[in-house]
Chains A and B, each alone.
Chain A
Amino acid sequence: MSLKRTDVLLCCGSGCVSAGALKLKEKLLQEIVKRGLSDEINIIETGCMGPCDYGPVMMVYPEGVFYKKVALTDVEELVEEHFMKGRPIKRLMVQESEEVYPTKKEIPFYQLQEKVALKNCGLINPEKIEEYIATGGYEALGKVLTEMKPADVIQIIKDSGLRGRGGAGFPTAMKWKFVYDQKNDEKYVICNGDEGDPGAFMDRSLLEGDPHKILEGMMIAAYAVGAKKGFFYIRAEYPLAIKRIKIAIEQSKKYGFLGEAIFDSDFAFDAEVRTGAGAFVCGEETALIASLEGKRGHPVLKPPYPAISGLWNKPTLVNNVETLANLSAIIINGADWFSKMGTETSKGTKVFALTGDLNNTGLVEVPMGITLKDLIYKVGGGISEGKKFKAVQLGGPSGGCLMDEHLSVQIDYESLQQKGAMMGSGGVIVMDDSNCMVNVAKFFLEFSVEESCGKCTPCRVGLREMYLILDRITKGEGKPEDLDKLEKLGKTVKELSLCGLGQSAPNPVLSTIRYFRKEYEEHIFNKRCEAKVCPDLVHFLIDKDKCLGCGLCAQKCPAKCIIGSREEKYEIVQTDCVKCSTCVEVCPVNVIEKLSGQFDASPKQEFKKYADLYE
């Protein structure tokens, strides 16, 4: 037993680390040593606590005080006042409109959240198996191995209604049953930790924050389907996740959770980590398997499904990280407990990575069936800088964009699909009204064009063709027939592509055309970008009547296209303008404006100006 009286949990998720959490840890340790408190205070690195906007965050127990945006300069006061004298520091607590929230349970960001997969994330040291065990870890595995038959395990997962969290939402028990039914001595389980969606960090946070939970989930799945060997496929860009899973595997071996005769049963299991090179398509299960086998990561036609013939042509179960993270809780708490959360067809909770123009971005877990409005406004804290909500992209580059009329939509697999978006793996990108939807569609499509493996023509050529059309539209060269062409191409690519990448890549374009058609038409017919994003569809003007004639804009203009003098005042030579906005930023009296639409001075007038200049 130790003399410790305070646990300081320091969030070391990626957001907090980039905000300086590791330096903070160093400084905390120094300060604690300096004051002779090392025997009494634990500094513990945890996984992601969720509210990335508040980073670096920490929690101090036993009081459970939650601190946000802790700076190096706060450390001395923190140690002296709180750790030493027991006076928590108010100014570092979460505060919203005069209200102070000292502990986590009062903070609005956490109010609607329900943590199942993320339960231990941010509360335990992910590199200590004992802390995982303390939370009830490996009890589910023990229960399964000592009290249940594989078929019983499949039944309880079936009753729970759990569906795959990797994107498609396939019923987990059904997939397990396929593998279970295969008569084969050699079967495999793969944990899909590829997570290639831009802006997504759910699986990474789970792997980093609670690796043993994923490992235990994998073992439960393996027992149910009859596999003896498991692989974690994690992209190389996630070095910490890889390290943590490796540590978890080592520790688990030491305690005998991995190995032979686990819990004195005849179940033996071993797991290892394989790293992926970061291609988006390698998240697709058949491409993933090819990559694992050391081949080029190209998808192949299904059937046969991996469940029948997967890794090295053996029956293989591929499950997503979050799917596996739900298993131990279902085994311990029962199918009913799980299926009480969520909607008719979508049970349990879902982890989302909230990003974009929100007050509270971060990692959240909410019950299925929550409305988009609650997710964006209550959990996400609403749109930042007091701007207006415009759109939300769900499901990453394979998903779709929804608009304000969809805010009352409940988040479940079917409702989202019906509206042209999808659950995907849980990336949520919220956009305010300064975003141009044509540009947004172009951004996602560009990602898919780059990530298309090139195996099938519709995806390789079709997506590029769509991209070129979008590019033209944003440059003011859109043609009247472009929208029809985009829709037709999109449908063709969806129908004729072999794998999910091509089958879903047109979604961002199709959904934005469906819900923001006017904006496309504005670009095509009126050559205007209302959001003033597309450089070729905006122009800048100096209000000559109000111009001081200071010349700062002319001095700073990188294209040297602002001309004039103190007496004449200044103006922009539109043909040379590169639309960089520098003049707007430097003008001391704010009389330069960015305007939607192209500059429409007739050529004659332009010419006259130059002629005048020459004189």
Chain B
Amino acid sequence: MKTLEELRKIREKAQNEMKMRNSESRVKVVVGMGTSGIALGARDVMKAILDEVSNRKLTDVLVTQTGEKGLSSMEPVVDVIEKGKPKITYGNVTPENARKIVVEHIVNGKVVSDLVVATKND
């Protein structure tokens, strides 16, 4: 260890590995994992999102899951929550759509409007 800069680089990388333990992420992606969600493929949607986020090294994105959301006709359901912006809910998400949401919405900042089923201000 020679310099503080060197230490800080290691720290950044390490923090990234531990980001789950602090709530300071830019974007939170919440996948609905109710029984019907899972039956309609929510697990594969979750895996696709995790994979895409990981491949693109999106360090400020937190992927998590939630229970039934009362939108069973539109499962699998995915919420994208950004600080200071309305919560966007996508419905009938497929693994392919999920990847598209990550790329267009989370990376490029453009909501994938044809998949949106609800928008809500916090």
Binding site for B on A (CB under 8 A): 1-7, 9, 39-40, 61-64, 81, 84-87, 123-124, 130-131, 133-134, 136, 138-139, 142-143, 146, 255-257, 262-264
Contact = CB atoms under 8 A, between A and B. Distances in A.
A123 B3 CA distance: 27
Interface in B1-49: 1-4, 7-8, 10-11, 13-18, 20-21, 23, 30-35, 37-38, 46-47
Interface of B: 1-4, 7-8, 10-11, 13-18, 20-21, 23, 30-35, 37-38, 46-47, 50-51, 54, 57, 59, 62-68
B33 to A, nearest CB: 4
A263 B3 contact: yes
B66 A86 contact: yes
Contacts of B54: 1-3
Given A7-B18, A62-B21, 13 more contacts: A2-B17, A5-B65, A40-B50, A61-B21, A84-B33, A84-B65, A86-B66, A87-B68, A131-B18, A134-B11, A136-B11, A139-B7, A139-B11
Contacts of A146: 3-4
Given A7-B20, A134-B18, A256 B33 contact: no
Contacts of A130: 10, 13-14, 17
A77 to B, nearest CB: 13
Contacts of A4: 20
Contact of A264 (B3, B10, B68): B3
Contacts, number: 101
A86 B65 contact: yes
Given A3-B51, A86-B66, A142 B20 contact: no
A5 B14 contact: no
Nearest to B1: A256
Contact of B20 (A62, A85, A133): A62
A134 B14 CA distance: 5
Given A63-B64, A85-B67, A264-B2, A134 B15 contact: yes
A263 B2 CA distance: 4
Contacts of A123: 21
B67 A87 contact: yes
Pick the 10 closest A-B CB pairs, nearest first: A86-B65, A134-B14, A87-B67, A130-B14, A256-B1, A86-B66, A85-B33, A3-B50, A134-B15, A142-B4
A6 B20 CA distance: 7
15 contacts: A1-B54, A3-B50, A5-B62, A62-B20, A62-B21, A85-B35, A86-B32, A86-B66, A131-B14, A133-B11, A134-B15, A143-B4, A256-B1, A262-B1, A264-B2
Contacts of B17: 2, 130, 134
B28 to A, nearest CB: 8
Interface centre among A61, A123, A138 (most CB of B within 10 A): A61
Interface centre among B8, B10, B38, B68 (most CB of A within 10 A): B10
B38 A85 contact: yes
B57 A5 contact: no
A146 B4 CA distance: 8
A86 B33 contact: yes
A615 to B, nearest CB: 78
B50 A133 contact: no
Nearest to A137: B11
Contacts of B66: 86-87
A85 B50 contact: no
A39 B38 CA distance: 18
A463 B15 CA distance: 54
B20 A5 contact: yes
A7 to B, nearest CB: 5
A64 B23 contact: yes
Contacts of B38: 84-85
Given A85-B38, A86-B67, A134-B11, A255 B18 contact: no
Contact of A142 (B7, B30, B62): B7
Contacts of B32: 86
Contact of B1 (A64, A81, A136, A257): A257
Contact of B7 (A9, A64, A131, A138): A138
Contact of B64 (A2, A86, A131): A86
Nearest to B13: A130
Interface centre among A85, A123, A257, A262 (most CB of B within 10 A): A85
Nearest to A146: B4
Contacts of B1: 138, 142, 255-257, 262-263
A82 to B, nearest CB: 9
B36 to A, nearest CB: 11
Nearest to A85: B33
Contacts of B23: 62, 64
Given A5-B50, A263-B4, A61 B14 contact: no
A85 B34 contact: yes
B99 to A, nearest CB: 14
Contacts of A5: 20, 46, 50, 62-65
Contacts of A263: 1-4
Given A134-B14, A139-B7, A256 B65 contact: no
Nearest to B35: A85
A63 B21 CA distance: 8
